[in-house]
Amino acid sequence: MSPVIGVLALQGDVAEHIRAVASLGESVREVRTPEELDSVDALILPGGESTTIARLATTFLLADPIRERIANNMPCFGSCAGMILLADRILDGEADQETFGGMDITVRRNAFGRQVDSFETQVAVEGIAGEKVHAVFIRAPWIEAIGPKVEVLATVSDGPAEGRIVAASQGALMVCSFHPELTTDTRLHELFVRRVKGQS
Ligand code: GLN
């Protein structure tokens, strides 16, 4: 049976992630309720606004069920705000900002500086062969510290943020600071699907 990929559909780049996964020929559906969460094998946490998504997840009674699924090894892929939501620790969060957690990483919100609202660059991503990935950063976080079980998948290769970690994985979880859903390059989604299927 091929896995069903869910996209947490409370706020943010939901349609873009759905389009990317569907273009790979995979089953994908929106997740807004605990029942819908039960019906998926994996979950994408989109870019958007992490404080809003976390608040809505609590309101929609999804926050604890998502934490439970993460604890039970549900594969998750978080982009940008989704990365923040999967981090065990955040810096520059709002007071009392909650995450789902699961990854032993410290993530700084809006890390590239408020004046640099968005920028684009090429990054080499571990597990993705061929050309570098065109990475779109929008008020993006970066990973400031990682625990021993975390594998770094990508760092910024030039400019003021050189060396900063912008993609990583730990067990079934994978995150990136940028927005693969906003480009036509689906290789990050393919990488996630391969991980969901246990092929990578
Ligand atoms: N700055 C946003 C946050 O804190 C993330 C930005 C994004 O997802 N484009 O949630």
* Per-residue pLDDT reduced to its tens digit, 171-190: 999 999 999 999 999 999 99
The enclosing domain of 171 has a CATH number of 3.40.50.880
| Amino acid, single-letter form, for residue 169 | S
List the catalytic residue out of 17, 26, 76, 179. 179
Q: Which atom of ligand 1 is nearest to the CA of 53?
A: 10
Task: Please say if 76 is a catalytic residue.
Answer: no
Model confidence over 50-95: pLDDT tens digits? 999 999 999 999 999 999 999 999 999 999 999 999 999 999 999 8
Alpha-carbon distance of 34 to 8, in angstroms, equals 11
136 close to 183: Cβ distance less than 8 angstroms: yes
184: its two tokens: 């036509």
Report whether residue 136 contacts ligand 1, using a CB cutoff of 6 Å.
no
**Largest distance between two CA atoms of the chain:** 47
Which atom of ligand 1 is closest in space to residue 46's alpha carbon?
Answer: 8
**Inter-residue contact 109 to 92 (CB < 8 Å):** yes
Active site residue 179: yes
pLDDT for position 117: 74
What is the domain range of residue 60?
4-199
Task: List pLDDT tens digits, range 3-45.
Answer: 999 999 999 999 999 999 999 999 999 999 999 999 999 999 9
CA distance 40 to 5: 6
Q: How many domains does the chain have?
A: 1
Query: 80, 176, 189, 190: which is the annotated catalytic residue?
Result: 80
Verify whether ligand 1 is closer than 6 Å to residue 109 (CB atom): yes
Quick check: CB of 186 below 6 Å from ligand 1? Answer: no
Ligand 1 in contact with 110 (CB < 6 A)?
A: yes
Question: Is 81:50 a contact under the CB 8 Å cutoff?
Answer: yes
